[in-house]
Amino acid sequence: MPIKNTIKFKICFLLAIFFISNYNNKIYTQDAEFTQFYANPLYLNPAFAGTHLAPRTTLNYRNQWPGIPGTYITSCFSYDQQIENIHGGIGIMFMNDQMASSLQNNRVSGIYSYQIKLTRNFSVRAGFEATFWQKQLNYNELTFGDMIDPVRGFVYQTGDVFTEEGTRNGLDFSTGILGFSEKFYIGFAAHHLTEPNESLLSNNNSPLNRKYTAHMGFHLPLKGNGSTISDEQTIISPNLLFRRQGNQQNINAGLYIQKGPYVLGSWYRLNDALILLFGYDLGLVKIGYSYDLTVSSLSMATSGSHEISLQINFESKTKSKTSPISCPSF
């Protein structure tokens, strides 16, 4: 392995060890990141469950920082739909987050949301999410400072005591609220209300920080008669998203432009990345690709991040009295 790649690989392992181990300090862990926010709506805010009204399936794949060997690979699958008999939407979500092939986090979530119409033009939907999570570590692939002999190298056993089979699991709860009209939407979500302990060391506390997300945007159709692609209605959608988890926070500002089935989007994550997005919306099927161009001090080593999304939006066989939300698909 070239020296440059070896250095990067060691950096990656150091980052992994930082998040999973504790030497007399409390370490806080962070959530996986998706930048096609509205292509993974249940992950963004549980209140989105059922907002399409008809059944909806989403698949998301993210490769973060491929320039550093063994970094984050995150996959997510979700299904949701509106059910009139219970006056709300239901959803289920599966997520797998892998880091350096040694650490992975699996989550299974069940979601319910309830919608009420406050006025003729404005509705509110509240959501609740219950999650079973499991974190696993293959600690045989890791090395620690107390294993090193100054002369002979890695010859000792580590003194760190891991949980049984390097696994920890538990329950987690989240909630969210969403308000919307025909051309405007605003939402707030609070994830990890109980801040579960995710530490893989037996005598250690590593809580998953509570995460707060606020998001808003506009859905602004421009005139067009739809007779040809050039006459298709153009939709402009400016958006703003704020997220805070522990002492980490980011502000994202973005703009989508849709002309017929074609979607172009751009986001800027303050002091971190410029995001470019391309989408193709066929109605039933929506496909998106985005690239995060890192603009922070890590830009030379990370090679950015790639994300792919696939949505299948089924048509409802019955007419719903519930108002749908108009927001971006990616």
Distance CA 71, CA 301 (A): 12
Within-domain flag for 322: no
Residue 201 φ/ψ, nearest 5 degrees: -100, 140
Within-domain flag for 327: no
Within-domain flag for 160: yes
Within-domain flag for 135: yes
Which residues contact residue 248 at a Cβ distance below 8 angstroms, ignoring those fewer than 6 apart? 30
Lowest mean pLDDT: which of 125-139, 141-155, 219-233, 241-255?
A: 141-155
Within-domain flag for 260: yes
How high does pLDDT run on average in the chain?
82
Q: What is the DSSP letter of 260?
A: T
Within-domain flag for 46: yes
Amino acid, res. 65: W
What pLDDT sits at residue 38?
94
Number of domains in the chain: 1
Token digits of residue 13: 């392992």
Within-domain flag for 167: yes
Distance CA 35, CA 105 (A): 19
Q: What is the CATH number of the domain that holds 177?
A: 2.40.160.40
The residue with tokens 């749908």 is: 324
Model confidence over 305-317: pLDDT tens digits?
899 999 999 887 7
Amino acid, res. 209: N
DSSP code per residue over 131-174 = EEEEEEE-GGG---GGGEETTTEE-SPP---BSGGGEEEEEEEE
The residue with tokens 């930082």 is: 18
**The domain containing residue 306 runs over which residues?**
3-313
Q: Identify the burial level of 201 via C-beta atoms within 10 angstroms of its C-beta, where 0-12 means exposed, 13-18 middle and 19 or more buried.
A: buried
Strand 148-149 relative to strand 184-191: parallel, antiparallel, unpaired?
A: unpaired
What pLDDT sits at residue 199?
78
Model confidence over 90-110: pLDDT tens digits?
999 999 998 776 788 999 999
